[in-house]
């Protein structure tokens, strides 16, 4: 069992191993710190847009409060490019 592990979706960031969080009964904290893959962020943003037909940056920041505005904008640009490709 390793003591630390690399966060798979973040460059050069490490956390204590999963087994530690399980032993300390902090599974949710491990999941929060470990984060989500980028496609999950896009899925949440797309779901918000589909539910409400539109959205503003403030609403998207509420959907994903741990993300910086820059990361939100990058994800939104990716979503827009995907939508454009599908319509062609």
- Phi and psi at residue 85, to the nearest 5°: -60, -40
- pLDDT for res 67: 80
Task: Report which of residues 50 and 38 the model is more confident about.
Answer: 50
Separation of alpha carbons 83 and 61, rounded Å: 21
Q: Among 79, 39, 44, which residue's Cα sits nearest to residue 64?
A: 44
Tell me, yes or no, whether 42 and 80 share the same domain.
yes
Tell me, yes or no, whether 68 and 44 share the same domain.
yes
Tell me, yes or no, whether 43 and 82 share the same domain.
yes
Structural domain count, the chain: 2
The model's confidence at residue 24, banded by pLDDT at 50, 70 and 90, is very high
Tell me, yes or no, whether 46 and 77 share the same domain.
yes
pLDDT at 17 over 60: yes
Q: What end-to-end distance do the CA atoms of the chain give, in Å?
A: 49
**Structure tokens belonging to residue 44:** 């949440």
Tell me, yes or no, whether 28 and 46 share the same domain.
no
Tell me, yes or no, whether 29 and 53 share the same domain.
no
Tell me the per-residue pLDDT of 64-87, one tens digit each, with 9 for 90 and over. Answer: 887 888 888 888 888 777 666 666
Range of the domain at 29: 4-34
Separation of alpha carbons 85 and 78, rounded Å: 11
Separation of alpha carbons 68 and 85, rounded Å: 26
């Amino acid at each position: 069992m390793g003591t630390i592990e690399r966060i798979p979706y973040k460059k050069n960031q490490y956390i204590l191993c999963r087994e530690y969080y399980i032993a300390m009964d902090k599974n949710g904290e491990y999941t929060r710190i470990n984060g989500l893959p980028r496609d999950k962020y896009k899925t949440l943003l797309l779901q918000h847009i589909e539910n409400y037909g539109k959205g503003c940056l403030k609403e998207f920041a509420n959907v994903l409060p741990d993300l910086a505005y820059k990361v939100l904008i990058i994800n939104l640009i990716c979503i827009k490019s995907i939508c454009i490709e599908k319509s062609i």
